[in-house]
């Protein structure tokens, strides 16, 4: 389940380089979030992200990745992940998920958030909030001495069976490439996976569906949608595990506030 490929453990110096990429991603996502309103096109949101990334001297990692044509993925409503930005306009009540990655000096950051456009339906707002909480529960489970499988177990426990957990797309190691071993599952499996060691850097990214989590890919070969048409949310952070705990590289505060709410101390190498 977790594979046998070699994990690239990072030195503290390398983690500091990844923090730079993580902060660029954080800024790009904040800029996009500020522009999400009825009438804006997903292509316009993409341009906002690309401008922030390039202005920082960074490179958008999604652009050209296996031919992907944009700097963000913009996935709306029944779209789960990998939506291609274009002429679609955001509508009131839409669930909009934005995923973004950037490279600084060869090191990657990768993060995503969902938001509901006003007037937001209560069910959609809760879907996004629970997905975010499940992500933080997964991040909090990254503790030296634990097992990688603790992340998926924590995500599943946080969902409490309220939503479908997408299984076909998972989190991943990250560093000198956007996607590296190991896979980071969003659900519990029998095999507990490799022991958690300092220097592990992973993207934790649960995708939840307000209904059946079965997915299919559209004819554009990218956009992942729920087969049932049910709405989905997606949250993601890039996290480095240090001796004293997790440091959330794509959160401006390193995850201090959200982890404290779970009784876990974030452990920044610097800030």
Q: H or E element: which one contains 79?
A: strand 79-81
| Nearer residue to Mg ion within complex by CB, 173 or 268 | 173
| 90 lies in the binding site for Mg ion (CB under 5 A) | no
* Residue 110 CB, nearest approach to Mg ion (Å): 4
CA 78 and chain centroid, separation: 17
Binding mask 91-110 for Mg ion (x = CB under 5 A): --------x----------x
* Residue 76 CB, nearest approach to Mg ion (Å): 16
| Nearer residue to Mg ion within complex by CB, 172 or 231 | 172
What ranges make up the beta strands (E) of 88-179? 95-104, 107-116, 164-165, 171-173
Give the span between the Cα atoms of 101 and 108, in whole angstroms. 7
| 183 lies in the binding site for Mg ion (CB under 5 A) | no
Per-residue DSSP letter, 91 = -
| Nearer residue to Mg ion within complex by CB, 31 or 228 | 31
* Residue 170 CB, nearest approach to Mg ion (Å): 9
| Nearer residue to Mg ion within complex by CB, 46 or 110 | 110
Per-residue DSSP letter, 41 = B
CA 148 and chain centroid, separation: 17
Residues in 109-128 that interact with Mg ion by CB under 5 A = 110, 112
Give the span between the Cα atoms of 112 and 173, in whole angstroms. 15
Instruction: Specify the residue for token string 């659900």.
Output: 187
| Nearer residue to Mg ion within complex by CB, 94 or 99 | 99
| Nearer residue to Mg ion within complex by CB, 14 or 97 | 97
Start-to-end CA distance of the chain, whole Å, equals 36
| Nearer residue to Mg ion within complex by CB, 203 or 267 | 203
| 203 lies in the binding site for Mg ion (CB under 5 A) | yes
Q: Which stretch binds Mg ion (CB under 5 A): 13-21, 22-30, 202-210, 216-224?
A: 202-210
Count interface residues toward Mg ion (CB under 5 A): 5
Q: Which stretch binds Mg ion (CB under 5 A): 6-14, 150-158, 200-208, 209-217?
A: 200-208
| Nearer residue to Mg ion within complex by CB, 217 or 261 | 217
Burial of residue 121 (CB within 10 Å: 0-12, 13-18, 19+) is middle
The two structure tokens encoding residue 263: 């009784």
In the 3-class helix/strand/coil scheme, how is 184-244 assigned residue by residue?
A: ECCCCCCCCCCECCCCCEEEECCEEECCCCCEEECCCCCCEEECCCCCEEECEEEEEEECC
* Residue 119 CB, nearest approach to Mg ion (Å): 28
* Residue 258 CB, nearest approach to Mg ion (Å): 18
Binding mask 223-242 for Mg ion (x = CB under 5 A): -------------x------
Give the span between the Cα atoms of 132 and 137, in whole angstroms. 9
* Residue 271 CB, nearest approach to Mg ion (Å): 23
Query: What is the contact surface with Mg ion in residues (CB under 5 A)?
Result: 99, 110, 112, 203, 236
């Amino acid at each position: 389940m977790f594979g046998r490929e070699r994990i690239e453990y990072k030195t503290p110096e390398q983690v500091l380089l990844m923090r730079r990429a993580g902060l660029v991603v954080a800024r790009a996502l904040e800029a996009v979030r500020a522009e999400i309103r009825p009438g804006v096109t997903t292509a316009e949101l993409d341009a906002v992200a690309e401008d922030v990334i390039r202005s920082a001297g960074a490179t958008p990692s999604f652009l050209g990745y296996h031919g992907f044509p944009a700097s963000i993925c913009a996935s709306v409503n029944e779209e789960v992940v990998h939506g291609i930005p274009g002429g679609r306009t955001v509508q009131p009540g839409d669930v909009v998920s934005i995923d973004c990655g950037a490279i600084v000096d060869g090191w990657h950051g990768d993060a995503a958030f969902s938001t509901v456009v006003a007037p937001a339906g209560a069910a959609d707002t809760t879907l996004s909030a629970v997905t975010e909480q499940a992500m933080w529960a997964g991040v909090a489970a990254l503790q030296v001495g634990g097992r990688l499988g603790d992340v998926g177990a924590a995500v599943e426990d946080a969902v409490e069976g309220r939503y479908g957990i997408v299984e076909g797309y998972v989190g991943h190691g990250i560093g000198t490439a956007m996607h590296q071993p190991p896979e980071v599952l969003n659900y519990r499996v029998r095999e507990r996976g490799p022991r958690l060691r300092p220097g592990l850097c992973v993207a934790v990214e649960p995708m939840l569906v307000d209904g059946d989590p079965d997915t299919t890919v559209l004819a554009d070969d990218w956009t992942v949608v729920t087969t049932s048409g049910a709405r989905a949310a997606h949250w993601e952070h890039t996290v480095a595990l240090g001796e004293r705990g997790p440091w959330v590289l794509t959160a401006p505060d390193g995850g201090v506030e959200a982890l404290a709410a779970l009784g876990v101390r974030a452990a920044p190498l610097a800030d």
